[in-house]
Structure 1
């Protein structure tokens, strides 16, 4: 299941992020990649020791905790602290799959990566290339969103970032351990939740069908959730 969320950050928030990121400390992105990924990764990332990344990442985490569509799609249990990357001058990231288990920086806790997330911070007209290509059962899907938009997709997917041949592409990226491990089950719950929300907009809160359908959603979540 691939879900895009427009205006996850407002235009004003994007401008504030960009102004601060432009003054940040950028390092070779290959230094944080695994052995195989490092060979196909050519980009820059905000230094993990730069407080800027933590400050901006906390804003993203706060938004994830309150955004109804993001919560519905990912059902977050744990979120890896957001990172920031930059592609320019032919920078790219070849086909790879994200690590299944990650240690959360500064803790002894680990996270199972169920959902990958990319938050676009550059308008698509400002750079050529840089599409996020996500492979699925029906071929690769190219994602290149407006600044401030977020895409959520299965961390199990093979994916890549196409070379940026003009301008600069800046994004935040992070991973989510969902309360529901199965991507198929998450997809069913997402469809059911969106249906409930659509019906709630047109029916009374005590509508019998709406109440029963809401109960089905929560009982399925109760059955599948891992805490």
Structure 2
């Protein structure tokens, strides 16, 4: 399931992040890439050693956890510390699949990848998050504050930036539900539950839908 989530970050949060990134230092993005991905990665990332990094991480993770849509769709057990990427003119990230395991020794399995856009599409040309799918390339370029979530097993790239600067936060979630098809079923059913409850909260149909969602979650969730 590919999911656009609007307004994960509000204007105040975006301004806070922007000020820290403007004042901080960036380093070669290949430092956090695996051997295969490093061959096709050409970007900059906010330094891990910056004193403000913790504040940036907390802002993004708190915003994701505060989104009903994100929680319902992703069902996150753990969220990886975000990486803050900067793509200047000529920079790109070629086709790759995100690492399956991160954060050794406290290993996190990556089930869902998330890109949070930190500046507006008009600030740069190119730089589309490009998903390889059975329908061909799907290009994603969203307003500041929006997030795009997709299975971490997806082959994807960031197209070359030809003008301006692209700023993003990227992170990964370890989901209680490993299977993306099961996550999609639960997310669809959750929306059915909300719709039925809004129309007839006391109806048998609303109760049955909520029961089914709860029991499927119980059946499929990994503790």
TM-score normalised per structure 1: 0.95
Number of the residue aligned with 2:161: 164
Q: Distance in 1 between matches of 2:206 and 2:136?
A: 37
* Maintained 8 Å contact 2:192/2:209: no
Matches within 5 A, 1:64-143: 64-103=64-103, 108-143=105-140
Which deviates further from its counterpart, 52-61 or 24-33? 52-61
Secondary structure in structure 1 of the residue aligned to 2:52: helix
**Distance across 2 between alignment mates of 1:44 and 1:196:** 43
Q: Which residue of 2 aligns with 1:209?
A: 205
- For the aligned residue pairs, the C-alpha RMSD in angstroms reads 1.1
1:184 aligned onto 2:208: no
Give 3-state SS (helix, strand or coil) of 2:178's partner: coil
**How many residues are matched?**
223
- 1:12 aligns with 12
SS of residue matched to 2:199: coil
The answer to whether structure 1 residue 23 and structure 2 residue 20 are counterparts is no
Q: TM-score, normalised by structure 2?
A: 0.97
Q: Structure 2: any 5+ residue segments left out of the alignment?
A: none
Whole-angstrom CA distance in 1 between matches of 2:134 and 2:177: 21
Determine the C-alpha separation between the residues in 2 that align with 1:166 and 1:97. Answer: 26
Whole-angstrom CA distance in 1 between matches of 2:168 and 2:57: 12
Rounded to whole Å, the distance in 2 between the matches of 1:199 and 1:138 is 33
